[in-house]
Structure formats: structure tokens, C-alpha cells
Amino acid sequence: MAMADITIYGAGIFGLSIAWTCVQRGAKVQVIDPYGVGSGSSGGVVGALAPHTPENWNDKKQFQFESLIMSATFWREVEDAGGLSAGYARSGRLQPLNDARSIELAKARSEGAKTLWRGLATFDIIDAEGAGDWAPKSASGLLVHDTLSGRMHPRMACDALVAALAAKGCPVLTEGVEQGIIVEATGWRGLLALADQMDQPVGNGVKGQAAVLDFTAAPNAPQLFADALHIIPHANGTIAIGSTTEREFEDPTSTDAHIDDVIARARSAFPILQDASVIERWAGVRPRAKSRAPMIGHHPMRKDAFIANGGFKIGFGMAPKISQIMADLILDGVDRIPDGFQPEASLRKS
């Protein structure tokens, strides 16, 4: 391989997507991850691309909105280059409205979406009967249906990015020689290592457990959300259910009674899943920066290096735009990163 312009440590969604956008712009890139592709939370099963509510708007919500709108083009270009599907679809989302308070909130958010989502997506209140069998139980008989939410399959998406990068001559390695500009996208272990270097907390890992059910009847149906659960129909004929939030854990990849409870709650909230068999239980650790926003920008400890981490629960939805603005910074020296995403934001929270 010719000398790389950029070495990216970490073959999760942030590392791979930044590599892809930099390669598209003509850079020579190598990705190194000793644990392999998608070894952390990026190798999970859920894949919910769920927007923030259209109210109390801020830079983080605007950034995520723009990234979700970009997703269709981003994943189409990845799929076209590498020939593999990422399992992406902007399939929307259904949520139950169980009481008068939730209905009033939904009405206000529906009005907010008309302005904040700029006519590119809607946030509507519909009758549950109109959704047929594929609907959560709703005490009021009403649901929210938004058309901004999407889904992709995390493992398929990582594989699609690896194939696209290979087509452009960018290797994804388990070991290699550091060359060129350095980008650290090393997930929760990277956050803990950075905390040790700086002798102060900057973030941590939060374990999540999820499950996959065999259910082929609704591969393109909207995702469902109720009782704090995401129910995601995937193109491969499975349903993903997730996930738990565990701040204290001993084994990052073990599953236990927590996921059994999630499955039981999902079957209760969505009766159509009662007879769907469980084909996989999964556990992994998601990187959560202290600021609760992604940590992207100049590396706080390495001169002329960069960091991209902390995509807690929203990494895949944020990745298209994060890859764009990180490429702007790395390749062109143009800094368009929101203040709340800069590494200093997590340091201020410490």
C-alpha cells in the first residue's frame, strides 16, 4: 500500500464513515482496529435512526436532523461503491399516545415539526386502527407517526462500508504501521484510556442488551417505540428489540435476565410479536461522552491528531454528517463542529 495520508484507529461506525468520506474526497486512508470490524456497539443488532422531538430546538437536534436527511444519499453511495446492502430505509416510526397529556404534547410537536423539519418530514397523529396489526397498544386509540425515523442494520452497514472502502483501495486492518494524520475513533475503551491520560473523567461505557426475533411479515414496516423499547423490522426478515441501559457491569458481552425482561415487555406492548421466536441475544458497550453529545474535533492530548467518539445511541444516525464535518476539518482545516460536540465540552462537564 502507498503511504497513507490518514490512519484511523477504530472500525466502528465513526471510524469507517469518516474513512469513507475522506476516501471519497481523494485521501489515502487506512483503518486499524485490533478487535476487528464492528467489534463494539457498532456490531449490534438494533439500528434505530430515531430523531429528537421537534421542540426546544438546539444545535444537537439540528445536527441530527440534517444527518438523518443526508442518510439516504450517504448509504446509497456506500452501497453503490461496494455492492453490499446496509439495510437502510427511512421507514418512519409509530408511538402510542396513552393519555391526554401525551396527546397535547404530540399536537405541539406536530406543529413544531412543520417549521423545524422544513417540510422534509412530518410528525402526525393518526388513529391506531389505520396502522392495522402492526401497531403498539394505545389507551387513547391514537398514535404518533413520524416520517423522519429510519433504520439500518448495524452489521450490514459496517460490512457495506468495508466493501466500499476496499473498492476505493482503503484497507481495514487488525494491525498496521501508523502513517499520516491520526484519528482516534476507539469507542468506550478509548474514552476510558483518554480519561487515564488526562486524569479526569471524560466519558464511559454503557452496556446494552438487545434481542433478534424471527419475523418475516413486516420487513419494511415502521419501527415501533413504546415502554422505552425500540422495535425495528429489518430487511433480512428479523425484528430487533432493544435495549437495556446498564452503567455498571462486569462482562461487556454477556446476556442475562435483563434481556429476558425486555423481550417480555416487547411482547406485551406489541402483541403481534407473541409467537416470534428469539434467534439471538446480544450485548455490547456503547461509548457515552461526559457531555452526552458526540466528542469530535481536535484530539485533546495528541498534537495534530483528531478524535471521534461518544456516539451513545445516536452514532449511526449522526455518522453521515459527522463524517462530512470531520473530513472538512482533517482535509481542509475548516472547523464547523458545534461547540457542544467539541472535546472541550466533555472536559467542562468533568
Q: What is the pLDDT of residues 220-244, one digit of tens each?
A: 899 999 989 999 999 989 999 999 9
Q: Does residue 322 belong to any structural domain of this protein? A: yes
Average the pLDDT over 145-167 and give the result. 97
**Does residue 303 or residue 143 have the better pLDDT?**
143
* Residue 329 counted as domain residue: yes
Residue 80's φ and ψ, nearest 5 degrees, are -65, -40
- The CATH number of residue 172's host domain is 3.50.50.60
Q: What mean pLDDT do residues 30-45 have?
A: 96
Is the bond into 41 cis (omega within 30 degrees of 0)? no
Mean pLDDT of 76-88: 98
Res 273 pLDDT > 50:
yes
Total domains in the fold of the chain: 1
Does any domain span residue 299? yes
> Cell numbers 482535509 correspond to what residue?
331
Contact (CB, 8 A) for 187 and 36: no
107 in any annotated domain: no
Bridge-based pairing state of the strands 150-151 and 229-233: unpaired
Give me the mean pLDDT over the 157-164 stretch.
98
243: left (phi over 0), alpha (psi -120 to 50) or beta: beta
43 lies in some domain: yes
Q: What is the pLDDT of residue 97?
A: 97
Which domain covers residue 39, as residue numbers? 6-86+152-202+291-349
Q: Give the angle subtended at the CA of 127 by the CAs of 124 and 129, to the nearest 5°.
A: 140
Q: pLDDT averaged over the chain?
A: 94
CA distance 68 to 226: 21
pLDDT number for residue 218 = 82
- pLDDT surpasses 60 at 349: no
In a domain, 219, yes or no: no
Q: Does 96 fall in a domain?
A: no
Rounded CA-CA distance 162/321 in Å is 18
> What's residue 26's pLDDT?
97
Taking a C-beta distance cutoff of 8 angstroms, is the pair 49, 24 a contact? Answer: no
pLDDT-derived band at 2, boundaries 50, 70, 90: low
More confident call, 328 vs 217:
328
Task: Give me the helices (H) in the chain, please.
Answer: 13-24, 59-82, 100-116, 154-167, 187-198, 257-269, 315-332, 343-349
Amino acid present at 283: A
**What's the confidence (pLDDT) of residue 345?**
81
Measure CA of the first residue to CA of the last residue in the chain; give whole Å: 41
Rounded CA-CA distance 48/141 in Å is: 24
Looking at the domain assignment, is residue 197 inside a domain?
yes
CA–CA dist 347, 344 (Å, integer): 5
Which pLDDT band, with edges at 50, 70 and 90, does 1 fall under? very low
CA distance to 75, 126, 128, 138, 271, per residue, from 141 (Å): 36, 9, 5, 5, 15
Distance CA 56, CA 88 (A): 28
CA-CA-CA-CA dihedral for 52, 55, 58, 62, to nearest 10: 50
